[in-house]
Amino acid sequence: MNNQSLRDIKKKTTACALADAAFELALERGLDGFIVEDIVQRAGYSRRTFANHFSCKEEAVVMAAISFQGTEEYNHVIAEIPENTPPLDFLYHLMKTYLTTEVLWKMRKLILLSKKKPSLEPYILSGFHHLQVMAQETLRDFYLGRYPEGYTHLLVGAAYGALLPILDGSLNVLLPDPSESESSGAMTFEQYLDSTFSYLRNGFESSYPLNQTTNENSR
């Protein structure tokens, strides 16, 4: 391991510690109940260090939900995927690996916080874009030009775009949360993800409800 790698690891560890402290404070006090000084005191760093990683407390709070710390597991999953795996199946494995119960739980808390404090929304969308770019780069590195760049952008955009209705709360999808009881009227996130990739794999017009509507309208 070279010095650059050690620096990168240290930088990421520091950013995660600051983000986690900001997220904890947001849950405990609400977004208006703390300042940057509270974050650095809890995390054990200086304000200057905070400024080197984040522009404001809102950005730090959101980063706690999207930062990925299971790099070894992530790399192991990628290494186990056969080279001839179609990009759609590859992306499905990536999303299943990254979107863990903890990440989804934090995302749900972010949604609840953003409803009370809309200033979080731009940072949530920015963080979501970061996840999209990370997936695009992973696909590009795995397939090494075997697919056009535009293809991977469209594929990742479609898959991750399906998560936006969950982030803005317009779809009733049950995210894992040990503090809440399950709602019988909502599909689970796993069901929603499987449904999304089924549409992407088979086409939207192949679904029964859409065909049924078309047939009824033609009568």
User: Element (H or E) spanning 173, and its range?
Assistant: strand 173-174
Q: What is the pLDDT of residues 167-206, one digit of tens each?
A: 677 888 877 655 555 555 678 888 899 999 999 988 876 6
| Beta-bridge mates of residue 187 | 173
**8 Å CB contact between 135 and 162:** no
Q: Long-range contacts: 126-134, Cβ < 8 Å, 24+?
A: 126/59, 126/62, 127/62, 127/63, 127/65, 127/66, 128/66, 128/160, 128/163, 128/164, 128/167, 130/66, 131/66, 131/98, 131/160, 132/156, 132/157, 132/160, 134/68
User: Element (H or E) spanning 85, and its range?
Assistant: none
- Which pLDDT score is estimated for 44? 97
Q: What is the pLDDT of residues 35-89, one digit of tens each?
A: 999 999 999 999 999 999 999 999 999 999 887 665 666 677 788 889 899 999 9
Helix axes 101-116, 57-66, angle to 10 degrees: 150
**8 Å CB contact between 61 and 19:** yes
Predicted TM-score (pTM) of this structure: 0.76
Q: Identify the structural domains of the chain with CATH numbers, from first to last.
A: 1-64 (1.10.10), 68-217 (1.10.357)
- Which pLDDT score is estimated for 194? 92
Query: Of 48, 53, 75, nearest to 63 (Cα)?
Result: 53
- Which pLDDT score is estimated for 35? 97
User: Which is more confident, 139 or 72?
Assistant: 139
- Which pLDDT score is estimated for 70? 57
